[in-house]
Amino acid sequence: MEIDTLIKRIDGLEERVKTLEGKQIKGDNTPKFKDVIDPKELENGRLVYAGKYKTEDGTVSSIFGSNVVTVDEILKYDATELANIIDAFSSIERINIIKELMKKSYTAKDLMENLNFSTTGKIYHHLSHLEKIGIIAKYNDYYHVSARFLGSIILIFEGAGSIFRKLDREKN
């Protein structure tokens, strides 16, 4: 079975599980929320997010969103666990790997060439870390971003980008 076919089947199964768990309404791929989505109407300290993304080659896609979550709930997350996850994004090499895999699936050799890694050991070091925490997965020598975490990755990148843009504006 080709990797593209398998990834699509896995994505389909993940969507079916979400539907069975009641996280999505049948027949509608738009995430549904308990509360309003308009930020002006949310109570202080509450937030929602939603999105849809598909890799350029179509092998990985995700429709993601949250029911309303409060900042107080977020602040209760274990700091050690948060640090372990955030550490994956503290490396330029890992970020570049994730960005490449958000476009399409690649072998380690292809990633090594595309990102100008000097040794196979270096690329495998970063790939194994990302794979260990579940951000990426591997099938038949091809790595891809895990569909179930695609939304979270996009939010992390957008959050960092938002901070960067604000700081950049303050400098100028």
Q: Is the dihedral of CA 61, 66, 71, 72 positive or negative?
A: negative
Lowest-confidence segment of 16-20, 108-112, 133-137 by average pLDDT:
16-20
Q: Given a cut of 90, is residue 84 above it in pLDDT? A: no
- Structure tokens belonging to residue 139: 């099938």
Q: Given a cut of 60, is residue 144 above it in pLDDT? A: yes
Q: Given a cut of 50, is residue 25 above it in pLDDT? A: no
Q: What percent of the chain has pLDDT over 70?
A: 75
Please give the pLDDT value at position 26: 44
Report whether 53 contacts 150 (CB < 8 A).
yes
Q: Given a cut of 50, is residue 24 above it in pLDDT? A: no
pTM over 0.85: no
b/e per residue, 76-106, with b = 16+ CB within 10 A?
Answer: eeeeeeeeeeeebbeeeebbbbbebbbebbb
Please give the pLDDT value at position 129: 93
Q: Which domains occur in the chain, in start order?
A: 3-171 (1.10.10.10)
Please give the pLDDT value at position 37: 57
Q: 4: which residues sit within 8 A by CB, 6+ positions away? A: 57, 58, 59, 105
Please give the pLDDT value at position 151: 86
Q: 124: which residues sit within 8 A by CB, 6+ positions away? A: 108
Q: Where are the alpha helices (DSSP H) in 67-171?
A: 71-75, 79-87, 92-101, 108-114, 120-132, 150-171
96-122 mean pLDDT: 95
34-63 mean pLDDT: 74
pLDDT confidence band for 171 (50 / 70 / 90): confident
Q: Given a cut of 70, is residue 38 above it in pLDDT? A: no
Main-chain dihedrals φ then ψ at residue 62, nearest 5 degrees: -155, 140
